[in-house]
Structure 1
Amino acid sequence: ILTKPDLVDKGTEANVVDIVRNIVVELRKGYMIVKCRGQKDINDKLTLDDAITKEKAFFEDHEQFRSLPQLRKDVEMKLSNTMQHLKIYSSGVPIAYDEKVMFMIEKINKFCNHTRSLTTGEEPQNILSGKRYITKVRKEFTDWNSFLDKNVSNFRDFLRDEVLCFDESYRGRELPGFVNYKTFESLVKNEIVKLEEPAIQKLTTVTGT
């Protein structure tokens, strides 16, 4: 708990704000800052209610410290939103063993049903945010299919040229138009290597959708 913010040297208020925000020295439960009654306030018999009002006015009017009440409001709003989201996931894990087993079975079933609904485009309306997942993924795979078609066409032309070159320079007992198996395998492997990076990028895009 930090006290006497009104006695902070001018120009160092920003450092105090960083401390309260748990940036300088991190504490698990963070910091609080208060402006208590000074000796003069006590001598003047300032009541606690009036002291709280005076404290609130001090923080709201101070150029640097006025951000702290807003920070509290932001935290309270995020906490409220988080609590609303947590309600979706029902209660916590039960204590009794039998109840734990049923709890786990229920969660697994819900997960499987949710995954199945995603793949069939039937996810519940209450969890939708914009387009359905399958709609987003369908576009990605449509683009991927076009990319593969283009590469297959290029590879077909490349393979034809390689077969002609093989026939002219390296063909042994193989029939005309048929390359050695190891040569063909090497050509295909090289093509697969070229597709590896685009495939990983597409997978990353889909999983992040």
Structure 2
Amino acid sequence: MKGEVHSHEESIRPYIDLIDTLRSVGIHKDLALPTIAVIGDQSSGKSSVLEALSGVALPRGTGIVTRCPLELRLKKKTSGVSWKAVLSYRDRKTEFVDSTLVGNYIETAQNEVAGRGVGICDDLITLEVTSPDVCDLTLRVPVKGQPDDIENKIKSLIMKFIEKHETINMVVVPCNIDIATTALKMVQEVDPEGKRTVAILTKPDLLDKGTEKNILNIVHNKVIPLRKGYIMVKCRGQQQIDDEIPLEEATNLERDFFQNHDYFRSLLKEDKATIKCLAVKLTQHLVDHIKKSLPQLNEKITQLWGVKNELKECGPPQEGAKQFLTEAHEILQILFFSQTLKRFNDEIKSLSSGELITEKNVFVQLRAEFKKWGDHLNRTKTSCHYIITTHFFDVVSQFFRNYSVLQSIAKIVVQRMADQLPMISLFMLKQTAEILSIDMLNLLDGANVPV
């Protein structure tokens, strides 16, 4: 099955990989890490939403279905793999390439971790899915079940996830029930201002006629305001699942539903409807949350490093502790370094876009330099077209191959050199090319480019 995807950006995956790596080495045991927790009451449509996002069928049924916290790691990979999954829990790891086996593997893992029956446990089960048809995203699904005699234990386990400020709470709420009585009520206890909560409204096809405007008021943040807002989706119903309607077809049916709906078609233009919109927004919410959390996370790891040094006086550390802290600290330092480079690169791209004519713009300064070259060339005579175009322009284009405007200017300069410069040796030509390269780099270094 295919999950919903969005256009992949190279800037997304490193942030999610960083947090996944930190969690894999166990740092989440001491520090809370940014994550998205998926919360929803029984039959809220949570499994259908996760299925649409990931393309994998999670356990369904009545009673307690998810009896252990499940971390769902989705990794988009466009080459080298069609679909692959790795299920990890405790010290076990199982790799498989058949998506239809996901439910069986998760059920087996839950039986081993929480025991058979209706027992629940807070031991984490991780399912990592790599595919060209998923979005880059990591979700954490706490336990869920019926409000029987274990209601308090279930709530306690869920609260462990959602009360942390590093957690984005994704609440799945059916449209056809009172939103104030849903899992959103529990989330409001830990996030009363709705700063880190996004709500997913499901089952819009089951609404009673005449209540559509009330739902629109909810979506537009007029009832229970949420900083990250509301998104409405229509996933496969039980009948479509029984009829084995594929997810690709269900996605088209979902869009048709909203386009033809008298009240909800406007939500498409507002980017507040469909699984595709949800996938894009969840990924962006998570990456933004990670970026905001990194400074505090780095500070906390530094504090742990200091505590480690103080503990030296109490005796040698346990085997592996030093390596763990070192790896975690190095990972964060590398990420901060990459962030600095990215900011510098973004500034350079902005200043070299050729669109804004300002004194700081690199192109303005480059044009001035090229004018000096042009004036000099106009005073010379030449004919060595082949050598120049073969060797000299190759060097120039390597430095500016991404900038079409500068390439055009470079072509003019090379043509003038080919027409006017006297015959020179290949050695002298390479020297000239190197001088030009150095001039360009010096110009960039000397430009007033903020970092």
**Smaller-chain TM-score bracket:** 0.3 to 0.5
Scaled by the length of structure 1, what TM-score is found?
0.35
Which structure has greater strand proportion? 2
Structure whose alpha-carbon radius of gyration is higher: 1
Which structure has greater helix proportion? 1
